[in-house]
A and B are shown apart, each in its own frame.
Chain A
Amino acid sequence: MKSHGGWIIAASFLAALLLELIPLPEWARFVRPQWSVLVLIYWSIAAPQRVGVGYAWLLGIIQDVLTGTLLGQHALGMIFVAFIANRLHKRIRVFPLWQQSMLVLLMLLLDQLLQFWTLGVIGQSPKGLNYWVPAFVGMLLWPWMFIVLRDIRRRFHVQ
């Protein structure tokens, strides 16, 4: 099977990273969903033979550089998320959307938990429950993300 449309995947990752950086009003800063993780989950499910742990690591490192966090903080979480999504992609694909959302919530929380640990180890653990909000916002966004990215994938025949 010839693979094409690699630039679409790259472009969606870039768009996700830009969304991570775009300024939000002060009250909305803690609501920002983990865009890059959501896109990563989608591609790990839709094109598991192409997007996997390696991509996840690269994406995570890029995000660390862009957001000025410890190198590897985002990468660690994304590696695990991509691994799980890759392993379960056949099952997740046939789930109804709400059930997918639940699983996505778990993966997003796992990503946040790993980052939380990293931050704790270097003594900068975030205070308050605000920290966990993005995963739930991500869960609510997932059906919409899934449909948009699926349409894009079909339109450009990415496999």
Chain B
Amino acid sequence: MTVDHRFDQFAKVRTFLANIAAPVHYLAALPVEIFSQLSGSLQSADDLQQRNADLRRKNLLLSARLQKTAALEAENLRLRDLLGSSGKLHDQILIAELIAIDLDPFKHQAVINKGSGDGVYKGQAVLDANAVMGQVIQVSPISATVLMITDASHALPVQVNRSGLRGIASGTGQLDQLQLHNLPLNSDIEVGDLLVTSGLGGRFPAGYPVGQVSRIEKPAGAPFLSVYARPSAHLERARELLLVIPRDNQSITAASLTQADNDAADNDMSPL
């Protein structure tokens, strides 16, 4: 147990074991799968038409918004060119589905139906439609295990979207709470601030929303603020999720980050 917890040598063994576990996971999800297939085929035509109409409307809205995004993206790239830092928009995305099984109730993990055969790799960032969900911690050829950002052993570097303040958001073991550590008492942070990934550390690509600041406490005599945030991702409800493939895997290495930081320092601007 100690070896598994402390050292990385066991990773190979775990990967091997994960290969054996994957078929069992699929087997366990089978009843639910069959049930949802059945209920899908039993849905009434009315319901389906209704939903179809809804989706159409939503699609229209989204594509309208997308047109605007394209223009904004182009503008953003141009401005970044002016600043001399490299823009990293347009990550590629792979869609995966959760396998319907429960893992340990006290660890926030999930199993998805894409594995190394589909190009999933360890450390890949996972999103749902709204925000960052977590990262891949284990891969087998046909499935992968995702650690959610709210797991007590998870932390990710974030940035306050409004002020550019950087921090570390770590999981608390509760599905609706993240905690930001070591923010000085005079930090520029308010309830309602949007937290986005900062891209430092190289795991998560920069600029994806993480959550909203929900509570700020100033414990008397403590040198740091206690800041809590609510994750924006629907961690307990999402079924489809998105795996981010950075445009090239090298694009978010530490080197390029320090480069961006230096550029920013030269220009006396903070990178977003």
A positions within 8 Å CB-CB of B? 17-18, 21-24, 26, 29-30, 32, 65-73, 76, 118-119, 122-124, 126-127, 131
Contact = CB atoms under 8 A, between A and B. Distances in A.
Given A65-B21, A66-B25, A76-B1, A71 B14 contact: yes
Interface in B18-50: 18, 20-21, 24-25, 27-29, 31-32
B102 A124 contact: no
Contact of B101 (A23, A69, A72, A124): A23
Interface stretch (B103-111, B208-216, B252-260, B261-269): B103-111
Most chain B CB inside 10 Å of its own CB: which residue of A18, A32, A73, A123? A18
A72 B100 contact: no
Nearest to A72: B1
A118 B1 contact: yes
Nearest to A21: B28
B239 to A, nearest CB: 11
A126 B172 CA distance: 11
Nearest to A76: B1
B145 interface: yes
B13 to A, nearest CB: 8
Nearest to B172: A127
B173 interface: yes
A23 B106 contact: no
Contact of B25 (A21, A69, A119, A124): A21
Interface in B180-199: none
A69 B1 contact: no
B152 interface: yes
B103 A18 contact: no
Contacts of B20: 65
A22 B101 contact: yes
A69 B31 contact: no
Given A22-B102, A29-B105, A68-B104, A73 B24 contact: no
Contacts of A73: 1
The 10 closest A-B CB pairs, nearest first, are A21-B28, A72-B1, A21-B101, A71-B4, A126-B106, A65-B17, A67-B104, A67-B103, A18-B28, A29-B105
Given A70-B5, A124-B106, A124-B173, A18 B236 contact: no
Interface of B: 1, 4-5, 10, 13-14, 17-18, 20-21, 24-25, 27-29, 31-32, 100-107, 109, 138, 145, 152-153, 173, 236
Contacts of B25: 21, 66
24 contacts: A18-B24, A21-B24, A21-B25, A22-B32, A22-B102, A23-B102, A24-B102, A26-B236, A65-B14, A65-B18, A66-B25, A66-B103, A67-B104, A68-B103, A68-B109, A69-B107, A70-B1, A71-B13, A71-B14, A119-B106, A123-B152, A124-B106, A124-B153, A124-B173
B107 A124 contact: yes
B256 to A, nearest CB: 33
Nearest to B106: A126
Contact of A23 (B4, B100, B109, B145): B100
A148 B10 CA distance: 39
Contacts of A21: 24-25, 28-29, 101-103
Most chain A CB inside 10 Å of its own CB: which residue of B5, B10, B100? B5
Most chain B CB inside 10 Å of its own CB: which residue of A17, A32, A124? A124
Contacts of A67: 103-104, 107
Contacts of A123: 152-153
Contacts of A18: 24, 27-28
